[in-house]
């Protein structure tokens, strides 16, 4: 992304948003929660877009990262930011268990990882000696004070999660535009043909899986230090899979900004409106949204918007837009 676009965005994210809403704890907490979903949605979309794999198991990576980081800080006193990193690494290591499923194509991978996610919830409940079992972990250390600034407040939490997301988005962008990004893109067209020209496709897919798991794990770790509480049904809740899927599909999982914008919009609207009208079962609207998106605009909303903007610009620029739009 060009600096000309990037700089104003960063100014808004780091300056304007905390300045405008920093005083309002309610708005900030919704924002942080929606950005947590946004982070997972980004990781999910990375796997879906670059790796070509649909995952219904990201709750597992989220939960594993959360538990590892929480336990490291509580039992061993590891500094929190290092523990969060370790949580990500732990999730990536946990994803090794699903590697054999990479041989399976399409639906089989999606369902294998669904089953895989269930396993971790059961494990977290059963190994109660370490994880506290169904009772959960209480009093997980809050985000630390760095250079005199305490990140334990809502605004502090916001700054941490937004930094994580900016870094992840940067990594995603670099990979997408690298040699590996092109190789992965070619794999969508034909995996066999790509293999023939010397791309180790399984290795690349595995790398994307590791990276996606790592990102989700770090987000999970952040969340555990932000809310200071964990239990298996919360950490491995299927909502951590469902919301990001809806967000990514809604925003457009083939774009970088789509999942992020999608998550913030979906989560905010869900919390502010749907939840008020339908207290239990408000996710019915998310399900409907998912269906409508797949049927009418499987590429999501962001590509639709940007296409329209570009088209308009082109109408102004050139007298014959119909030829120009073909080449985009």
Partner 1 sequence: MFNLILQSLYSGLLSGGYFALIALGLALVFGTMKVINLAHGEMVLLAAYMAYVMESKLGLNPLMAIPLALVVACLVSVTVYFLVSRIGKNRELNSLILTFGIGIILTNAMLIVWSADIHSTAVAAFQEPVALGPLFSMKSELAFFGVSMALVGVLWWWLSRSWYGRALRAVSSNRDAAKLMGINPYRTEIVSFVVAGVLASVAGVALYCTNVIQPALGGSLTTKAFIITVLAGVGSIPGVLIGAVLIGVVEALTVTLFSSALQEFTSMALFLLVLFVLPNGLFGGARRRG
Residue selected from 7, 20, 122, 309 as contacting partner 1 according to rule CB under 8 A? 122
Q: Provide, rounded to whole angstroms, the least separation between the CB of residue 328 and partner 1.
A: 18
Q: What share of the chain is helix, strand, coil (3-state, %, to 5)?
A: 80, 0, 20
Under 8 Å between Cβ of 84 and 218: yes
- Cα distance between residue 51 and residue 253, in whole Å: 12
Under 8 Å between Cβ of 246 and 40: no
Q: Provide, rounded to whole angstroms, the least separation between the CB of residue 129 and partner 1.
A: 14
Site membership for partner 1, residue 190 (CB under 8 A): no
b (16+ CB within 10 A) / e for 153-184? ebbbbbbbbbebbeebbeebeebbeeebbebb
- Phi-psi map region of 145: left, alpha, beta (phi>0 left; psi -120 to 50 alpha): beta
Residue selected from 13, 27, 54, 183 as contacting partner 1 according to rule CB under 8 A? 54
Q: Provide, rounded to whole angstroms, the least separation between the CB of residue 300 and partner 1.
A: 12
Please give the structure tokens belonging to residue 303: 């590509």
**Cβ closest to partner 1, residue 217 vs residue 300:** 300
- Cα distance between residue 200 and residue 197, in whole Å: 9
**Cβ closest to partner 1, residue 132 vs residue 156:** 132
Q: Provide, rounded to whole angstroms, the least separation between the CB of residue 45 and partner 1.
A: 13
**Cβ closest to partner 1, residue 102 vs residue 161:** 102
Under 8 Å between Cβ of 126 and 134: no
Tokens 């760095």 — which residue? 146
The footprint of partner 1 on residues 257-316 (CB under 8 A) is: 278, 280-284, 286-291, 294-295, 298
Query: What are the residues facing 138 on neighbouring strands?
Result: 229
Residue selected from 24, 25, 105, 177 as contacting partner 1 according to rule CB under 8 A? 105
Site membership for partner 1, residue 103 (CB under 8 A): yes
Please give the structure tokens belonging to residue 59: 């709750």
**Cβ closest to partner 1, residue 18 vs residue 57:** 57
Q: Provide, rounded to whole angstroms, the least separation between the CB of residue 242 and partner 1.
A: 7
**Cβ closest to partner 1, residue 3 vs residue 295:** 295
Q: Provide, rounded to whole angstroms, the least separation between the CB of residue 108 and partner 1.
A: 6
Q: Provide, rounded to whole angstroms, the least separation between the CB of residue 53 and partner 1.
A: 9
Neighbouring C-alpha atoms within 13 Å toward the C-beta of 323: 4
Residue selected from 1, 7, 11, 115 as contacting partner 1 according to rule CB under 8 A? 115
C-alpha dist (Å) from residue 29 to 188, 195, 263: 38, 46, 14
- Cα distance between residue 107 and residue 128, in whole Å: 33
Q: Provide, rounded to whole angstroms, the least separation between the CB of residue 294 and partner 1.
A: 4
Under 8 Å between Cβ of 235 and 133: no
Span interacting with partner 1, options 171-179, 237-245, 302-310, 315-323, rule CB under 8 A:
237-245
**Cβ closest to partner 1, residue 27 vs residue 111:** 111
Binding site for partner 1 (CB under 8 A): 54, 56, 97, 100-101, 103-108, 110-112, 114-116, 118-119, 122-123, 125-126, 238, 242, 245-246, 249, 278, 280-284, 286-291, 294-295, 298
């Amino acid at each position: 992304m060009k600096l000309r676009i990037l700089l104003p965005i960063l100014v808004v994210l780091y300056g304007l948003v905390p300045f405008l809403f920093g005083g309002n704890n309610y708005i900030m907490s919704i924002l942080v929660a929606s950005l947590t979903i946004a982070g997972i949605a980004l990781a999910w979309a990375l796997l879906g877009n670059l790796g070509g794999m649909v995952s219904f198991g990201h709750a597992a990576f989220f939960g594993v990262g959360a538990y590892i980081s929480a336990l490291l800080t509580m039992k061993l006193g590891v500094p929190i930011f290092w523990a969060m990193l370790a949580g990500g690494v732990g999730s990536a290591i946990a994803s090794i268990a699903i590697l054999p499923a990479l041989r399976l194509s399409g639906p089989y991978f999606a369902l294998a990882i669904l089953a895989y996610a269930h396993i971790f919830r059961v494990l977290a409940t059963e190994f109660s000696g370490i994880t506290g079992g169904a009772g959960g972990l209480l009093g997980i250390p809050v985000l630390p004070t760095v250079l005199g600034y305490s990140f334990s407040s809502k605004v502090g939490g916001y700054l941490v999660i937004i930094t994580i997301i900016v870094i992840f988005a940067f990594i995603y962008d670099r990979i997408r535009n690298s040699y590996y990004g092109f190789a992965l893109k070619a794999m969508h067209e034909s995996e066999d043909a790509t293999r023939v020209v010397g791309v180790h496709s399984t290795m690349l897919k595995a790398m994307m899986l590791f990276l996606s798991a790592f990102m989700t794990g770090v987000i999970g770790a952040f969340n555990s230090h932000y809310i200071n509480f964990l239990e298996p049904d919360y950490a491995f809740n299927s909502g951590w899979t469902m919301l990001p899927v809806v967000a990514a599909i809604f925003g457009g999982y083939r774009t970088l900004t789509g999942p992020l914008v999608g998550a913030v919009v979906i989560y905010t609207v869900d919390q502010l409106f749907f939840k008020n009208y339908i207290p239990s079962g408000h996710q019915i609207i998310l399900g409907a949204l998912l269906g409508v998106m797949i049927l009418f605009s499987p590429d999501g909303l962001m590509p639709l918007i940007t296409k329209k903007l570009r088209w308009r610009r082109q109408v102004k620029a050139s007298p014959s837009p119909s030829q120009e739009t073909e080449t985009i």
